[in-house]
Amino acid sequence: MLTTDANGAYLTEALDAGYYTIYTVDNRTGVTGSRYLTSSFPIKILGNKVIANQNGTVSTTLEQNQLRIVLTLRSPVPRRIRKCSF
């Protein structure tokens, strides 16, 4: 089983070191409204080591005429931020 701590770090003791693919699946029952979309992302596990910046995106379903934009920065501190107008 894979869980996350309060900071979103992945925690597991049951997997050997290696490369894995995490699949997110919303198995909740009795849910009304938005559900989480099934998605996947790769992670690497090394024994007793923290590997930072292994990020995945978990999103909910969108209503009609909605748009989701996900931005990913390569650096934890942006060097330049541009303002965009639509």
What is the per-residue pLDDT across 35-55, written as a single tens digit (0 to 9) for each? 888 888 888 888 777 777 777
Q: Which neighbouring-strand residues pair with 22?
A: 41
* Tokens 């049951």 found at: 14
Beta strand 39-45 with 18-24: parallel, antiparallel or unpaired? antiparallel
Map residue 3 onto helix, strand or coil: strand
pLDDT of 51-68, one tens digit each? 777 777 788 888 888 888
Displacement of CA 77 from its chain's centroid (Å) = 19
| In the chain, where the domains are located | 3-45
**Overall pTM > 0.85:** no
In the predicted structure, residue 85 carries a pLDDT above the cut 60 = no
Q: Which of 38, 56, 43, 40 is nearest to 15 (CA)?
A: 43
Q: How many residues does the chain have?
A: 86
What one-letter code names the amino acid at 9?
Answer: A
